[in-house]
Structure 1
Amino acid sequence: MGAVASVLPFLGFPSDDGDEGSGYGRSEQWRVEQRARELEAQVHTARQEAEEARRRANEAESRSRMAQEEATLSWERRQEELQQALDEAEEAFHRADEARLATERRWFEGVRPERRPSDQEIIEMKARYGYSPNFIHIAVVGSAGAGKSSFINTVRGLSNNDPIAARTGIVETTDTVTSYPDPRPNSRIIWYDVPGAGTPSVPDWQYFNDLGLYIFDCIIILIDNRLLESDLAVLSACQQCSTVEAFIVRSKSDQHINNMACDKIPGFDPCDPDTDDETRSRFLQIKFEEKRRFIHETNENVRKNLEDKSLSPRRVYIVCKDAMLARLQNARSSKTIDEAELRDDVEGSVRRRLQSGR
């Protein structure tokens, strides 16, 4: 037994023999307990590290999730902002389209948009037409076929066949504003043949501004049978533009009166040399009566047209080419109606412009 006991401590087992064996056992127990505590501390540390790693992993996952959510929200916000921009653009387009349609409705109803030209536009238009303050610039406007070119030739004392005459024709022969200096000695007037309003290239609602009629010193509105919407639009613009004086002129009066008289005598040809004196005398009497009716109806039609558009009353000058040429040559003509008054009033307007220095 003693031999066994002596071997036990060597093998790591406690011995029951005496204090020496007991001390050794306590020491060994302490070491075991110390080792256990160390292991426990290591386990605790490992658990803390694992917990910290788990916490960091959770935080990383949370940050990733938040970043993803933020990215999603940012994308959604961008989509919302884009959609809002598209909606606003569409709304603006609809508003612009509604404004355009409303403006077009006003145009069709005869209410033209009012827009005064800027100083720069006036300068550019004057440069375009070669405007000189030393001359009087008179524009002749009106519908296609009213006889503007022929009128300009007549007031300049020229026939339509003259080499320097304005080109004439049944259809609209002018597609740009063309200037014609007055060839008479000491004349300071330049006449302008203006394209007719209401043609496909020049709608009447933009006629006055687009062609720069506001730069002219005087505008003669030539009418054939009646005042058209385009004529009234120009008159309205002239009334707003106080620096431009306008005259309404009814052209081709002799042709109209002659046609009215011929309608009263079916089959009658005033150019037939075989017409008997009685028939010719009757025709002249009818022509005199139709002339009075023509003058009255022309004045009444113009008065009513101006009144319907709330425009100021204006005189209408009834003229014809032959009577105007006779007047320029100081000759008499049986066709004369308002040629002398038109000449005097236009000259008066010119004189006032020269005196005012405008």
Structure 2
Amino acid sequence: DRGRQALEDKLRQAEARLEGASAAVEEIRAAEEMAKSELRSTIEESVAASEAFAREKEELEREWKAKLPASATSPTPEDYEKVKRVHKFKEGYLHFAVVGAGGCGKSSLSNAFRGIVNDSISAALTGVQTNLTTLSIGRYNDPRRDCRFVWYDFPGSGSAGVSGPDYFNHYGLYAFDYIFLLWDNRLTDADVAVLENCVRLKIPYFLIRTKSDLHIQNIEDVLRTKLEAEDTIVDDWRRRPTQRLHNLSIDALGKYITQTRQSTEVALREAGLPPSKVYMVSYKSVLKIMQSGMSFPEGVRVIDERDLLSDILAQRRIKRTR
């Protein structure tokens, strides 16, 4: 009996331990379920937070891109191909974009580069006529034999509903071989934006101040008025008018060249742009030179027309050897 009692005691103890183990297992299972539930909650919260962050990031990027000027973005290969197709680029030709503020003489100089007189049949529209074409781009083949140039006369920057910073990309200037940036009285913010993009995308450009003959004449008129107002010089003026007039012309030319170079240097430096040569030209002089077959006829006032035309030809040779 004692042996049986001892055996029963051991059995009860084993059952108690088994119940304890089962309870422990249940506690472990409950803990596991709780941990899994907490883990699921944590994962769901993390996913929700990630999705919220992604949405916020996307919204911020959208707002940033909306505020970003189009000129600060880089064109894609598809953008290049579209511009070339729309503007009918020709293989083996150089495509020149003539840009600048409205009224700076883009059309007149585009005609002069081709040896075309304003208002002729094949000329780009000039003056008040351009009011009819402010939304269009003029495309003109160079009429000279074996000359593989195509000239494009663009609407004035800041006009046609296109803001200055967006002008460059809006008209696809990045696809052209050379940019001719023309200015009259001063370089505008839109001009600077074009130059910034040319530098960024390594597009060669020519910086050209137009209507130089008119600017020089205006300076000469001011000098003449000032000279005539000085009583101490009036008598000398009347005795030697030819010499005084000649000196006035030289002084006006020198003053114009100095002012133009200094103002250009300051504008480029303030914009953080590298120094650049500025060509001072008159479309009338360019026209006469082109019509004479680049012979530079006598009696034509020349400032930088010779250098400009020579540099264009030099760039053409460089382009062909690349």
Per the normalisation by structure 1, the TM-score is 0.65
Contact 1:326 1:332 in 2 (8 A): no
Q: What is the deviation of 1:267?
A: 11
Match of 2:251? Answer: 289
Contact 1:238 1:245 in 2 (8 A): yes
* CA drift at 1:169: 1.0
**Whole-Å Cα distance in 2 between the matches of residues 192 and 237 of structure 1?**
18
Equivalent position SS for 1:131: coil
8 Å contact from structure 1 (residues 250, 319) kept in 2? yes
Q: What pairs up with 1:93-104 in 2 under 5 angstroms? A: 95=60, 99=64, 103=68
CA RMSD after TM alignment: 2.8
Query: Which residue in 2 is equivalent to 1:182?
Result: 142
Task: Indicate if the aligned counterparts of 1:142 and 1:196 stay in contact, CA closer than 8 A.
Answer: yes
CA-CA distance at 1:113 after TM superposition: 5.5
Match of residue 275, structure 2, among 313, 317, 323:
313
CA distance in 2, matches of 1:206, 1:188: 30
SS at match of 1:161: coil
Task: Tell me how far apart the structure 2 counterparts of residues 90 and 246 of structure 1 sit (CA, whole Å).
Answer: 42
Q: Where does structure 2 lack aligned partners over 5 or more consecutive residues?
A: 1-48, 228-237
1:336: which partner in 2?
A: 302
| Equivalent position to 1:140, from 75, 98, 108 | 98
User: Within the alignment, does 1:234 sit opposite 2:194 as a pair?
Assistant: yes
SS at match of 1:164: coil
Q: How does 1:249-264 map onto structure 2 within 5 Å?
A: 249-264=208-223
Is 1:351 aligned to 2:317, yes or no? yes
CA deviation map 1:66-113 (0-9, x unaligned): xxxxxxxxxxxxxxxxxx9xx99997898478637864xxx6xxxx85
Secondary structure at 1:236's aligned position in 2?
helix
List aligned pairs for 1:1-358, cutoff 5 A: 95=60, 99=64, 103=68, 114-170=72-128, 173-242=133-202, 244-266=203-225, 278-279=240-241, 281-328=243-290, 329=292, 330=295, 331-356=297-322
Mapped contact 1:151–1:321 kept (Cα < 8 A): yes
Q: Distance in 2 between matches of 1:148 and 1:204?
A: 17
Secondary structure class of the residue paired with 1:162: coil
Distance 1:219 1:333 in 2: 30
For residues 91 and 219 of structure 1, the distance between their equivalents in structure 2, rounded to whole angstroms, comes to: 40
Q: Tell me, which stretches of 5 or more residues in structure 1 are unaligned?
A: 1-83, 269-275
Match of 2:244, SS?
helix
Residue identity over aligned pairs, in percent, reads: 31
- Larger RCO, structure (CA 8 Å, separation 6 or more): 2
What amino acid maps onto 2:200 in structure 1?
A: Q
Structure-2 change in CA distance of 1:98 and 1:129 (3 Å): closer
Residue type of the alignment partner of 1:302: T
How much does 1:226 deviate? 1.3
